[in-house]
Amino acid sequence: MSVEHYENFPVASWLCPPRLRPAVTAIYWFARVADDIADEGDATAAARQADLAAYREELRRVVAGQPPGPRWSHVFGPLAHAITAHALPWQPLDDLLDAFVQDTHQPRYADRAELLDYCRRSANPVGRLLLHLYGITDSTALARSDDICTALQLINFWQDLSRDLPRGRHYLPLADRRRHGLTDTLLDAAVAGRTGPEGRALVADLCAWTEALMRRGAPLATAVPGRAGWELRLVVLGGLRIVERIRAMDHDTFHRRPALARRDAPVLLWRAVRWPFAEAP
């Protein structure tokens, strides 16, 4: 199963050990449905928040060992089994819901610290849950997982400016915008196809920051066992390939969206075999 909206997160691929695929799929659908409640359709913010509160209550029910209700039984039935079978921790799942609630009322971010706090709850729990399934719990691995997941989330933001900005989602930190002189007028012009040097410089700066996070976390792939380690290599390299695509566009993603294609597969496979991110001495 591939990811529709979390484009940079592959889910339950053939590289994932078969015994873990049901749990990984259950985690994905838990996050996917919650994200759709927060984002999709034309419901009001209040209605979205009410649905997410009900969704959170369902999570608490299954964590407490109670059967799920009928509304989202297709989500919480498999998730309840995964929680029982693998002793999944409750907090990362709740953190994801906290981030989705935030999506309903906070469309802008003041600075990088505020954006990182959002990623801590919207992206990092996914990596921590997957590491839990593999029995990896040491602090270094968790920190590297957070770096990778945050980088993937940020790459998705810079990749999707042409989609998010027209919807009122402003993930470009206001402090960075001010530093690069990207006013609201210049931002509107960039979305309309008239990107100036301010917008390109801003995206270049944010991509450099994001790439550094990804490279810091990349050695984790050699610590994850078996086929999953190879999948993680491809996840890391795929994210970095998107950064390359953005760079090739002169960092103008305000009205065009870069994406990977089939022709990227041989490049990614070759880089996965060579794997340039060795453990630091």
pLDDT for position 6: 44
At residue 1, the pLDDT reads 31
pLDDT at 114 over 90: yes
Backbone φ and ψ for 108, nearest 5 degrees, come out as: -130, 155
pTM: 0.91
Q: Which residues contact 246 (CB under 8 A, 6 or more apart)?
A: 158, 159, 203, 207, 253, 258
pLDDT higher than threshold 70 for residue 187: yes
pLDDT for 16 equals: 72
- Provide the Cα torsion 225, 212, 275, 227; round to 10°: 30
Confidence of residue 281 (pLDDT cuts 50, 70, 90): very low
pLDDT tier for residue 89 given thresholds of 50, 70 and 90: very high
215, 147 contact by CB (below 8 A)? no
Residue 5 scores a pLDDT above 70: no
Residue 41's pLDDT is 83
Pair 133, 20: CB distance under 8 Å? yes
pLDDT for 4 beyond 50 = no
In this model, does residue 244 exceed pLDDT 90?
A: yes
What does the pLDDT look like over 148-161, one tens digit per residue?
999 999 999 999 99
Q: With contact defined as beta carbons under 8 Å apart, do 206 and 158 qualify? A: yes
